[in-house]
Chains A and B, each alone.
Chain A
Amino acid sequence: MLKKHLTKFHLWRIEMRELELYFGPQHPGMVGNFSITLKVEGDRILEAIPNPGYLHRGFEKLMELRNWIQNFPFVCRINVIEPDSMEAVYAMAVEKLANIQIPERAKYIRTIVLELGRLASHLFGAWAYANMLGFDTPAQWAMADRDHILDLFEELTGGRVYHIYILPGGVRRDLPDGFEEKVMHFLHGLASKLPDYNETFFENRIFYERAKDIGKIKKEEAIEWAATGQVLRATGVKHDIRKIEPYFAYDKVEFDIPTRADGDAYSRILVIRDEMLESAKIIMQCIEKMPEGKVYERTPNPFKWKIPEGETYVRVESSRGELGLYLVSNGGNTPYRVHFKTPSFNHGLFILPKLLKGASIADVGNIMISLYVVAPEIDR
């Protein structure tokens, strides 16, 4: 009897049209070549299926065919937004396997480069996020500020985007004359713009309304889903590889790990803002404490360089979370197996669809950017 009623009721229910919406790869709201298939009912998303692979180049396979040094151009291209952390993690792994100690000054320089890269990456992230909400003004300012960092990089390494500056044994060359002053000048300039950014972007009322309670992750969930970086820190977990397992000069400088408690998109962007301040602090301390000396330990001829058998897992804190590299050598002059554990892989393919379920279409890009998903990192 009851069943009959229920079927009757079902007949009366208004059937809404279920649409399939392709969000990307060709979509202005998509940063990077990535695609999400959305099943939509009205404005609600019923299901989100990420569809990666548009940037798959098979790096890990290609790297098996090239020798240890030739791999550097590949490594940095895995993540266009912050190539330095990629270079650093690969150089660290090679150094560990070949048992090379790097000079003290090189450690400081590497730290400075990594932090500058993090700043650039965060400014890019701010551009993407602001742009996503149709928030042109701070977006363009952030991009212009990022360009100053690229200019610094150009002076230091010769390249705007890809640097190939960090090599096993140290860094490619010493800092040019007056570079420290330029960095300091840039950092002071950025700090002086911070009130503007705060007013127009971070503390903007409408931005707050848009980002608050969007893409919310609970603390337990974040740990369970193996979130790292801002996603984890925005839920209140103080977790940072730079503190847990300090590499380079991170154990010699003082800095905080900014956290927020709410775990939503707004907390994540605030964590990013605070991290930029911490990065600036780290760079200033590094410049102050930097010792004199050589920056490069000679390594053997790259074409004859054979690295002893072994395996290692190294990790750094990139701007998007824990970046790991599992590197296996079988005693040859090429790696036997390279596997990058990239933060975006987990965030983009696993956490993103979970957060998108039940969200509104207006928030797809919002959630995606707040997770800091970088497409080439997923595909590799």
Chain B
Amino acid sequence: MVIKIIEFIFSPFLAFIIGVLFLGLFRKIVARIHQRYGPPIIQPLLDVIKLFHQKGFSHGALFDLGLILSLAGSIVVILFIPFGGICPLKSSGGLLVILYTMLFLPLGIALSGGEGANPNISIGISRKLILSLGYEVPFLLILLSTMSFYRTISIVDIVNSQKNFHWTLFSPLFLSGIAYFMILPAMLGMRPFDIVSAPQEISSGPAVEYGGKYLGLFHIQHSFSIFIMIALFVDLFLGGGENIFYFFLKMLTIFFIMVLIHSVFPRLRLEQALRYLWKWPTIFAFLGVIISKVVR
């Protein structure tokens, strides 16, 4: 029981630490690719500390509540995701619950941002919803293929069946893995898909009116979502991890590749991004579903 409670508190905290660390690493790696020194790795943490000591402007009750909704949604998702043997909520309906709860992430931001009167927000939110429409289709297909491949909807079971290097990525289902990998930048909001927060176009989109602690919460939510997306990939296709260290190493590898992709591409336009997302990733994911039916 005590262990359970510790896990409950510990896992969101760990997710935050890992997410923030990844943000710091992200800035450092990008800086090195730019041929400069870069900020210290803990810089995002310093930023968050600063943001919580700043005065923020609220734009109404929904402005606060939407952000909290999004944050709460991501914490709930984290509780369902097993990482390195820790999984606070080993419910059998894991994957489906994750799927539905993940909808809260963009929805909360959309609700919150809608309260601000800035036109950039409404454009940014419409972009975010359209983009999530773009990656939800292949994402759903990928989840469907993994669920039908392993004949279970429990994410813990999926991780357990991949033990001893029987990773899904090396199984007949590798096409789904590739598809997930292809939509991962869009889910993380990295280039070439940072359409939502494009500062040069709509001055950081939904985050335009956030300041002070609201922006701090926004950053925390962002680091949570980075953790969720990558951890889900590691769980579904790279066999999870025996302990936290291995899990973290796998996440780091994926994240590193994502940063490399991020730093060599410019931003796509929204319709181009949709065209891409509905083409190859969707085809691969669909093939994955067929394969999972054929194999089993």
Contacts and interface: CB of A to CB of B under 8 A. Distances in A.
Contacts of A200: 264
17 contacts: A27-B203, A28-B199, A28-B200, A130-B266, A133-B266, A134-B191, A135-B266, A136-B263, A140-B35, A206-B268, A210-B266, A210-B267, A210-B269, A361-B202, A362-B270, A363-B269, A365-B200
Interface residues of A, number: 31
A288 interface: no
A131 B200 contact: yes
B256 to A, nearest CB: 16
A43 B191 contact: no
A206 B34 contact: no
A257 interface: no
Interface of B: 30, 33-36, 119-120, 122-123, 191-192, 194-195, 198-204, 263-270, 272
B268 A209 contact: yes
Contacts of A133: 200, 266-267
Nearest to B204: A28
A363 B192 CA distance: 15
A224 to B, nearest CB: 29
A137 B120 contact: no
A209 B276 CA distance: 12
Contacts of B191: 134
A141 B32 CA distance: 12
A137 B264 CA distance: 7
Contacts of A207: 266
Contact of B266 (A29, A204, A361): A204
B226 to A, nearest CB: 18
Contacts of B35: 140-141, 144
A29 B34 contact: no
The 9 A-B residue pairs whose C-beta atoms are closest, nearest first, are: A29-B200, A133-B266, A135-B266, A134-B267, A140-B34, A28-B199, A19-B119, A362-B269, A137-B263
A194 interface: no
B117 to A, nearest CB: 11
B194 A134 contact: yes
A132 interface: yes
